[in-house]
Amino acid sequence: MKETILITGGAGFIGRHLAKALLERGYRIRVLDSLIEQVHGPSGNTSTLPKEVEVIIGDVRDASAVASAVKGVDRVVHLAAEVGVGQSMYAVERYVSVNDCGTAVLFEALINQPVKRVVVASSMSVYGEGLYRTVDGALVDDAVRRSRRPGEPWDPLDAQGRPMRPVPTPETKLPALASVYALTKYMQERLTLTLTPAYGMEGVALRLWNAYGPGQALSNPYTGVLAIFAARIHNGQPPMIFEDGEQRRDFVHVEDVARAFVLALEHPAAADQVYNVGSGVDRSVRDVAHLLAQAMGRPDIIPETTGQARSGDIRHCIADITRIERELGFQPQQDFAAGLAELAAWVAKQQAVDRVAEARRELEARGLVA
């Protein structure tokens, strides 16, 4: 008999794609989700989930809802979380409560009803700045950006004041927690990897880079950067980019992310491990904004660079996916240009409320943009 898998936060962007992938492999799927308005809109619609999915509407901090959700479950994917670096820097209680207390409530339920394996969604944000190399060739794994004066480089500097070059960041790099969001995600993965072996379970943490694809919450100004850009372009507005737009990121298609979760759930070698999940290719945020505008048929829309820094942001973090490729056989399969075309076609059929200016005002009012 096939196993039952619980996906907390499973009505969200990644959860819906993962539920579909797991159903195709014959699993029974149960979802626990609170359907918060910022992500799901005022209606809290679950119609985008496959009809075979059992849905429990409830908060991951609600012990009775969580106890019901884990009953009879064989494995758990823990996606439930508040997501957004900028918002986390002022909605502190909300992020800590949902992400960390919610994970604690989940594990108290699992102590009473253990499962075979728990896979938690962590984040590349736990690294802070990624790995760098100096002009002399030395690797620097503790780079920190100092306060920038006008005219100075945006990139972290070495001890001699020279800009350093970003290189792929492996799982062995020590965390450098630069935002409340990063703090909460690291706590989620440490709770998972501490408590699972103590109670005879297996734990896996996946550190996700920038997931994109159809189905993202276009009206959420704190969601993935490609969805934020798409909402702006869809409404005839230029994408707004902090700093100078040359910060580099790895964008990974949501179907590849779902594939990584399947491997993390099933592969024997994944037990008690941490893996990066990205595409293995880095791009500047400015280039990505231009490519998306072209894919959406609006090459005339030019991204706006603010020249301002946002508290909690890092400059560069590039995924080294060597380990998950070697140990689990993970291979990103989605071509970026094709993925942007797919996203553009989906966005064209959606309504998106552009709340980016509103979010920026919130950050500026609190002194979090300078």
Enzyme catalytic residues = 181
**Paired tokens of 148:** 């920038």
CA–CA dist 114, 202 (Å, integer): 10
The per-residue DSSP string of 247-267 comes to: -EEEEEEHHHHHHHHHHHHH-
User: Strands 210-212, 28-33: parallel, antiparallel or unpaired by DSSP?
Assistant: unpaired
**Cβ(295)–Cβ(239) under 8 Å?**
no
Alpha-carbon gap, residue 272 to 195, rounded angstroms: 11
CA angle 12, 31, 351 (to 5 degrees): 25
On whether the CB atoms of residues 354 and 237 are closer than 8 A, the answer is yes
Name which of 75, 114, 74 is nearest 198 in CA terms.
Answer: 114
DSSP states of 35-102: --HHHHTTTT--TTS-TTSEEEE--TT-HHHHHHHHTT-SEEEE------HHHHTT-HHHHIIIIIIH
Residues 284-312, buried b or exposed e (16+ Cβ, 10 A)?
A: bbbebbbbbbbbbeeeebebebeeebbbb
Contact between residue 95 and residue 80 where contact means Cβ atoms under 8 Å apart: no
Contact 315, 154 (CB under 8 A): yes
Q: What is the DSSP letter of 11?
A: T
CA distance 348 to 256: 23
